[in-house]
Amino acid sequence: MNQRTVLQQDDIDRALVRIAHQILEHNRGADELVLLGIPSRGVQLAKRLGVNLARIEAAEGRMLDPDAITGALDITMYRDDLRRRTPRAPQPTRIPSGGLDGRTVVLVDDVLYSGRTVRAALDAISAIGRPRAVQLAVLVDRGHRELPIRADFVGKNLPSARSERIGVELRELDGEDRVVISEEGA
């Protein structure tokens, strides 16, 4: 199989720490933040970001419970390609106890590509509540947007051909952390 590793565990760890710092700087702290991961890998990335935010805040003498600000947002029923894709069983949506209303939601996903997943996530959020703002954090931005969507926080820009596939593997789900690029169908 023709595949190359473009990010390894240390690269992913550094990218998530950098994104956590950027989120805190952009939002002037963690007050009123909610991290919502898009299943499946976005949920794991959101949990890691929550832990990083808590570590950074603790170093500044502020306490933050990562579990209290981290959740999951299933977008399955909001996708515009349900008829064209193999159906996927919906995953649970878990909203932190403070809800979304009036808070800043940071959507977290592994790869930003066409923008259609993010559009579906925005629809899912609007069905749940009315946040003050919605921001987007992704581990990888590969380009090829079909909708006018851009990430606020990006771990790595990886320009790629449409014929290539970007695969994110995370230790919680796949046994190791890495990002690979492979030829479609390889």
| DSSP SS3 for 167 | strand
Cα(14)–Cα(64) distance, rounded to whole angstroms?
Answer: 21
Phi, psi (rounded to 5 degrees) for 181: -115, 130
**Domain ranges across the chain:** 10-80+91-160
The pLDDT of residue 91 is 85
Q: What pLDDT, in 10s, does the model give residues 67-125? A: 999 999 999 999 877 666 666 778 899 999 999 999 999 999 999 999 999 999 999 99
- C-alpha pair distances (Å), 9 with each of 87, 170, 185: 31, 9, 25
CATH architecture of 10-80+91-160: 3-Layer(aba) Sandwich (3.40)
What letter would DSSP give residue 148? S
Mean pLDDT of 33-48: 97
Cα(124)–Cα(93) distance, rounded to whole angstroms?
Answer: 10
pTM: 0.94
